[in-house]
Amino acid sequence: MNQLTRSYNGVARLDLKPAPTEIDVFRRCAVADRPFFSRYVLNRGAWDYAGPVLPTWETLLLYQKGQRHVLSWRDLGQERCPVCGIIGSPLECNVCGVVVCGGRSTAALFRCRPSCPSSGPVTDRGFTNHGITL
Ligand SMILES: [Zn+2]
Ligand SMILES: [Zn+2]
């Protein structure tokens, strides 16, 4: 082990950090305008939705500090909002850029959170899911 440490400098060892197997992507409840995370876990090469996670000040700080682990929209499942309880696909607002739960939307009509005036037809397009790993 010591030989290995001597063989590589600190920069090389940073590259040995394992790839994340768990990503918490950022969401906001469209009803209460409160943040939460949706957890995805790596399962045999695919990302599975594992459930909602309530934020702590530490995880919100991590997110605000710019941790940007990206999950493709293709990996998204039906998510449950832990604030209003709705189950469905998350929606990205094209005005404020936040991904919200569908608590104020129908299958055809999108409505963002109370602090954002955006509403309109739901369109089927991919979006980037930014998250953190712990
Ligand atoms: Zn909600
Ligand atoms: Zn919005």
Query: 77-123 pLDDT, tens per residue?
Result: 999 999 999 999 999 999 999 999 999 999 999 999 999 999 999 99
Q: Which amino acid is at 57?
A: W
Which tokens go with 118? 């955006």
Instruction: List strand residue ranges (DSSP E) for 10-81, in order.
Output: 22-28, 35-43, 46-53, 69-71, 79-80
The pLDDT value given to residue 38: 98
Spatial distance between the Cα atoms of 28 and 73, rounded to a whole number of angstroms: 16
The pLDDT value given to residue 5: 40
Record the pTM. 0.84
The pLDDT value given to residue 20: 86
Query: Please, which pLDDT band fits residue 1 given cuts at 50, 70 and 90?
Result: very low
Query: 4-50 pLDDT, tens per residue?
Result: 444 445 554 555 567 889 999 999 999 999 999 999 999 999 999 99
The pLDDT value given to residue 92: 96
- Among all bound ligands, the one having the nearest atom to the CA of 112 is 2
The pLDDT value given to residue 93: 97
Spatial distance between the Cα atoms of 82 and 89, rounded to a whole number of angstroms: 14
Q: Compute, in angstroms, the gap from residue 101 CA to the centroid of ligand 1.
A: 5
- Among all bound ligands, the one having the nearest atom to the CA of 103 is 1
Answer with the residue of higher pLDDT: 103 or 1: 103
Q: Compute, in angstroms, the gap from residue 100 CA to the centroid of ligand 2.
A: 8
Q: Compute, in angstroms, the gap from residue 29 CA to the centroid of ligand 1.
A: 4
For residue 75, give the DSSP letter: G
Asked if 96 contacts 27 with a C-beta cutoff of 8 angstroms, the reply is: no
Domain boundaries, the chain: 24-132
Distances (CA, A) of 15 to 9, 19, 23: 11, 10, 19
